[in-house]
């Protein structure tokens, strides 16, 4: 590890007190037994009380809402972005932690990443076991997130889970129940947390943050449709007919469907609908290799290929483009810019 690099994280022992704000949004980390299952109910202060706070860190809690993350809407996610932006207006704040349900954490993390324009880190974490589980993972994940948020200046928006630090972009939930629930299937973790230290993190390659819409801005309908054997464009066309301003086609392989889907994409694009193509394959980029309904034809019909972004984050990219640009051409151009991976972001550093 290059410990003389000025951009790396420092050891936990610092001379000044570091201030971290926790934005609490619910999820399993805030959940208790409800008689038939678990649901989020604990406020942020109670969630925080379950975890030790790193030495030299002072914590303040903002209770934004308490929701199981499958129930989140784009409006909820934009509220998180606005809350983080508001917290960072205080120059005394060194970093932010967002506690979040794991089901859609990857989507909120990427949305935050697209609008983040501050060198102070934003760290998302959660838990796979509920708050009242005596062997739960909430205390460890929260401690690690607080430590990382206090030290990771310049690292951007991060996901900290099970002792690993991931970039928001590309990181998805890869296991329904396991403690090590998050990874970037096409990349590597950025670092590790352990024994009061965080391994060196590179400064994140940053683009200028997108123009943040007003807090009460209307949110666009963006649907996802999956291709499979025997699939036809019925559901794709239905999404457009229902008023979708964007559609994500979850294709097969490197981004392939059928000529019928290509025709549906072309119709949608002509109608001003923003179309993105991702893949149901866990790892690797969407690439224009095949014709006859493949990614070559889908791109020619006007769809934007999303690289290594998978379905949830591809949809967030479409939402952000619709919210942050005016007109079909501008939105398409912005979406192309969003899905391009910054050159310095891959491959991930050795965290061994």
119's tokens: 């060198």
Rounded Cα distance, 333 and 19, in Å: 38
276's tokens: 């993105």
- Is 102 marked active-site? yes
**159 near 171, Cβ under 8 Å?**
yes
103 is in an annotated binding site: yes
**120 near 95, Cβ under 8 Å?**
yes
Residue 250 vs residues 39, 57, 213, 286: alpha-carbon distances, Å: 30, 43, 27, 10
CB atoms within 10 A of CB 150: 29
Nearest to 193 by CA among 143, 267, 239: 143
Q: Which of 28, 125, 148, 332 is catalytic?
A: 28
Q: Which of 25, 66, 99, 102 is catalytic?
A: 102
Nearest to 295 by CA among 197, 342, 234, 284: 284
Residue 328 vs residues 271, 274, 331, 335: alpha-carbon distances, Å: 9, 7, 5, 10
135's tokens: 């062997």
**221 near 248, Cβ under 8 Å?**
no
- Residue list for the binding site for substrate: 69, 102-103
Please give the positions annotated as active site. Answer: 28, 102
């Amino acid at each position: 590890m290059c410990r003389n690099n000025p951009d790396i994280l420092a050891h936990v022992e610092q001379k000044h007190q570091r201030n971290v704000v926790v934005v609490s949004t619910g999820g399993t980390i805030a959940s208790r037994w409800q008689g038939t299952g678990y649901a989020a109910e604990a406020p942020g202060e109670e969630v925080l009380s379950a975890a030790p706070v790193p030495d030299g860190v002072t914590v303040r809690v903002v209770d934004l809402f308490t929701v199981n993350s499958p129930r989140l809407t784009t409006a909820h996610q934009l509220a998180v972005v606005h809350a983080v932006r508001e917290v960072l207006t205080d120059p005394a704040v060194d970093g932010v932690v967002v506690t979040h349900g794991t089901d859609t954490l990857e989507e909120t993390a990427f949305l935050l990443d697209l609008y983040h324009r501050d060198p102070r880190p934003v760290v998302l974490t959660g838990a796979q076991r509920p708050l009242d589980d005596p062997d739960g993972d909430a205390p460890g994940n929260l401690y690690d997130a607080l430590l990382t948020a206090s030290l990771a200046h310049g690292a951007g928006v991060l996901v900290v889970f099970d002792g690993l630090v991931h970039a928001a972009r590309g990181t998805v939930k890869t296991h329904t129940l396991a403690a090590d629930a998050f990874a970037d299937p096409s990349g590597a973790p950025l670092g590790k947390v352990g024994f009061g230290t965080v391994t060196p993190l590179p400064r994140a390659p940053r683009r200028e943050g997108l123009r943040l819409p007003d807090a009460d801005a209307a949110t666009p309908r963006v649907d996802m449709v999956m291709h499979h054997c025997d699939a036809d464009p019925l559901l794709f066309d239905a999404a457009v007919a229902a008023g979708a301003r964007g559609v994500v086609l979850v294709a097969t392989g490197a981004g392939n469907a059928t000529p019928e889907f290509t025709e549906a994409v072309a119709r949608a694009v002509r109608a001003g609908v923003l179309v993105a193509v991702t893949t149901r394959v866990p790892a690797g980029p969407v690439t224009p290799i095949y014709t006859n309904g493949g990614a070559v034809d889908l791109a020619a019909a006007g769809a934007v290929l999303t690289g290594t972004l998978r379905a949830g984050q591809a949809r967030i990219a479409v939402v952000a483009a619709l919210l942050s640009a005016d007109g079909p051409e501008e939105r398409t151009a912005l979406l192309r810019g969003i899905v391009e991976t910054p050159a310095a972001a891959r491959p991930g550093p050795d965290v061994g």
